[in-house]
Structure 1
Amino acid sequence: MNLFADAIRWLLDPAQWTGTYALPNLLGQHLLYTVLSVLVAAVIAVPAGWIIGHTGRGREVAVAVSGAARAIPSFGLLILLVLLFGVLQIPTAGLVTFVLLAIPSLLAGAYTGIEAIDPRVLDAAKAMGMTPWQVFWKVEFRLGLPLLIGGLRAATLQVIATVTIAGWVNLGGLGYPIIQGIQLNQFDQVLAGALLVAALALLADLLFALAQRAAVPAGVRASGGGRTEDEPRRRARALRVARS
């Protein structure tokens, strides 16, 4: 309990809120790396996932790549890229690391969101005279959006965690007080930094959970995800979503 109280005092100390390594600056660095890397990963992975989900081609390759990428140790990949890029390019090496770690979750979320749609719903949309673009935008995209946001949620949390350990290579972020505290045996500082990272991760998770729930079309939500409805009525609801 005393350690927790010491950590709170460390956080409230005015000295931690001024200077180059002030907590607002470290938080800004953490958010910058997280947002930028997830955006870059989304530009790469989401279109590829949509194509795989829409055509059904390359799924085995995507699953294999995603599984292999998830198995790579984050810290080991970071150190490897720092050595390859050189110590003068640490931010670039860090950004590439974060992008590579974010891609698997985004890729999986994109193609599983499309694959999870009942093919009969797509056939009915085509029978209504929808063009391929309308089928994608009004049916596939809208019904697959919750799973895509789920992938974005997982990718963001992965990057938040990895940016924290990137403090070992002087990349900044909220991992800096944790790493410095370990080196100085200042465990109140270590706990304070861990609390900040945990709070950031929980807040991001909550926001994405709300967004994922809001992304479910009203007709699908009202039907309870199709678990208690018969198939014709569930397909009819999905098509009403597409028309709206």
Structure 2
Amino acid sequence: MGAIADAWSWLTDGSNWSGAEGIGVRLGEHLWLTAVALVITALIALPVALWLGHIGKGGALAINISNVGRAVPTLAVLGLLLLTPLGKQGNWPTIIALVLFAVPPLLTNAYVGVREADRDVVEAARGMGMSPWQLLTRVEVPLASPLIMTGIRSAAVQIVATATLAAFAGGGGLGRIITHGFATSRTPEVVGGALLVAALALVVEAVLVLGQRLLDPLRKRRPDPAEPRDAAVVKVPA
């Protein structure tokens, strides 16, 4: 427990939070990297996953291709990107590596969510004369929203944890605290940096869970777990 106590002392030292190399600046850099990588991941993965899930074709191939990003270590991808012209483009090598790592869980969850949407509800909506676009946006996506949000949460937490690698590419973020601690043989700084990354991942997870509950369009329409199952009524979102 001595290392934890020393790390806590380091974290609660106000001088470590100020300045260009302080915790506040590094935390801001880490959040920026996470937000940019997550937005790019969503812009790439969600349209592909939702459309493939809607038409029911090509999903397995897309998932297998995206899983290549999981098979290759993120640090190795980052190292290769640094050897290309992108290596001189600031944080972009790190962001690209993070996106490649985060696409698979988001793509898989969104695709599965749409494909496993209640087919009775989907067919009822189709029978009402809904267009394919209306069917996707007003029925399938709301029904798939829990799995989609789970994919976003998984991708976000992975990005937060993996963004520490930005330090190896000369970028910012909380990883710089850890690498600086190793370089100067300051164990409290190393442990403190690791605790900050873990705490940030937990906070991001909690915020996204709360957001999922607040934004879930079907939250109030789902049956109470204590209610008899035969009393539940599934309605098509308006």
> Does 1:80 pair with 2:80?
yes
Taking structure 2 as the reference length, the TM-score comes to 0.91
> Does 1:111 pair with 2:108?
no
Partner Cα separation in structure 1 for residue 102 and residue 189 of structure 2: 29
Secondary structure of 1:237's counterpart equals coil
Secondary structure of 1:173's counterpart equals coil
Structure richer in helix, relative to its length: 1
> Does 1:206 pair with 2:206?
yes
Q: Counterpart of 1:165?
A: 165
Partner Cα separation in structure 2 for residue 85 and residue 196 of structure 1: 32
Distance 1:223 1:115, change over 3 A: farther
CA offsets 1:159-194 (integer angstroms, 9 cap, x no match): 111111221222110011111111221111001101
> Does 1:238 pair with 2:221?
no
When the two chains are superposed, the root-mean-square deviation of aligned CA atoms in Å is 2.1
Equivalent pairs counted in the alignment come to: 237
> Does 1:47 pair with 2:44?
no
> Does 1:3 pair with 2:40?
no
8 Å Cα contact 1:146/1:216 also seen in 2 = no
8 Å Cα contact 2:87/2:93 also seen in 1 = no
Partner Cα separation in structure 1 for residue 4 and residue 36 of structure 2: 33
Q: Counterpart of 1:151?
A: 151
> What 5-or-longer segments of structure 2 have no aligned partner?
none
Partner Cα separation in structure 2 for residue 211 and residue 14 of structure 1: 32
Q: Counterpart of 1:221?
A: 222
Partner Cα separation in structure 2 for residue 125 and residue 219 of structure 1: 20
CA offsets 1:110-164 (integer angstroms, 9 cap, x no match): 2111011122211111122323232222211111111111111111111111111
Partner Cα separation in structure 2 for residue 177 and residue 139 of structure 1: 46
Partner Cα separation in structure 2 for residue 197 and residue 41 of structure 1: 21
Secondary structure of 1:163's counterpart equals helix
Identity %: 36
Taking structure 1 as the reference length, the TM-score comes to 0.89
Partner Cα separation in structure 2 for residue 213 and residue 86 of structure 1: 39
The aligned amino acid for 1:238 is: K
Partner Cα separation in structure 2 for residue 229 and residue 14 of structure 1: 55
